[in-house]
Amino acid sequence: MNRIITLTPNPALDYAVEADFVEPNRKLRCHDPKMHPGGGGVNVARAVSRLGAHTLAIFTAGGVYGDALIKSVAAEGVPMRMIPISGDSRLAFHVQNKATGDEYRFNLPGAVMTKEEADRFLNAIAEEAEPGDFVVASGSLPPDAPADYWAQAARVAKAQGARFVLDSIHGLDAALEEGVYMLRQNEHEYPALAGRTLQWRDEIEVFARDCVAQGKAECMVISHGGDGSLMATKDNVAFAPSYKIKATSAVGAGDSFVAGLLTGLVQDWSNEKALRYGMAAAGATRMSEGTALFKRDDVERLFHS
């Protein structure tokens, strides 16, 4: 089985707490702290590992939070290749207001990568990727990263015969000009590319087909919250509805969706079946508290319901 290799040049240590209430200018007593490794690609790799597919997380790490990030990834048994950086890895802080159910998410910017560090990251892709692998660029880029950094990563991955998947709003224009195998956008992201908000499902389906026809991506995937998700290729458009669940947190749901989708595709499932598996993984993560990802039993239960 091919690997799903994830790229996270700007990972985070996710720290989640609960507060009985959140009000301005008050000392807030927090409880039930939880810590997990985070950042788009790291989460995708964690989710893929839980689903039983082969994966590798390539990510940067530096400083105290970077050390904790490495230990957290290792504790979950996720295969990894860490690129050391001189700066400090970032912290992402999440607070659940128990009084209202609202969730507050604070993401720090992360460390600037030197040119040498950025080059080492790209070299790791060239050394690890093999024909047929999925190489997933996910999440934010570090501050001051070149606007074409994802395009550079795509070029390296394609040179190895790998399929480059872009799940990021950063460096989008240059990456699409380079050409990617798959582009994933959610309901909040695609309007920047489309120029306006589109009606689900007909207008979005037309937009996704156009993106493929224009050569921006071989596969265009749009996840649309509670409405479901679709995947357009040159041959057809597959659709999967969302699962009815009691949501607790949205953290990591999009990354879980990508992990489930690619886990299906790497096993040569149909696009529709793989989309449904992605929706099951996203739904199961939304059932989890704080920054925790899904339990695999929940994914399977939803998928087979």
User: The CATH number of the domain where 217 resides is what?
Assistant: 3.40.1190.20
pLDDT digits (tens, 9 = 90+) for 30-76: 999 988 899 999 999 999 999 999 999 999 999 999 999 999 999 99
Distance CA 233, CA 92 (A): 35
Query: For residue 231, what pLDDT is reported?
Result: 98
For the record, the structure tokens of 252 come out as 């990591």
Q: Look at residue 287 and tell me whether its pLDDT is greater than 80.
A: yes
Q: Which of 191, 192, 199, 193 is nearest to 217 (CA)?
A: 193
pLDDT in the model for residue 116:
97
At 80-136, the pLDDT tens digits run 999 999 999 999 988 989 999 898 989 888 999 999 999 999 999 999 999 999 999
Which range is least confidently modeled, 72-76, 172-176, 292-296? Answer: 292-296
- The mean pLDDT of 137-158, rounded to a whole number, is 95
Q: Which residues are catalytic?
A: 255
Banded pLDDT at 250 (limits 50, 70, 90):
confident
Question: Looking at the predicted structure, is the pLDDT value of residue 238 above 90?
Answer: yes
pLDDT at 292: 79
Distance CA(211)–CA(218), nearest Å, equals 9
Q: State the pLDDT confidence band at 244, using cuts at 50, 70 and 90.
A: confident
Do residues 69 and 43 lie in contact, with contact meaning Cβ atoms separated by under 8 Å? no
Q: Which residue segment(s) compose the domain that 20 sits in?
A: 4-303
In the chain, the number of structural domains is: 1
The amino acid at 189: E
pTM of this structure: 0.93
With b for 16 or more beta-carbon neighbours within 10 A and e for fewer, the 156-185 pattern comes to bbbebebbbbbbbbbbbeebbebebbbbbb
pLDDT value, residue 251? 76
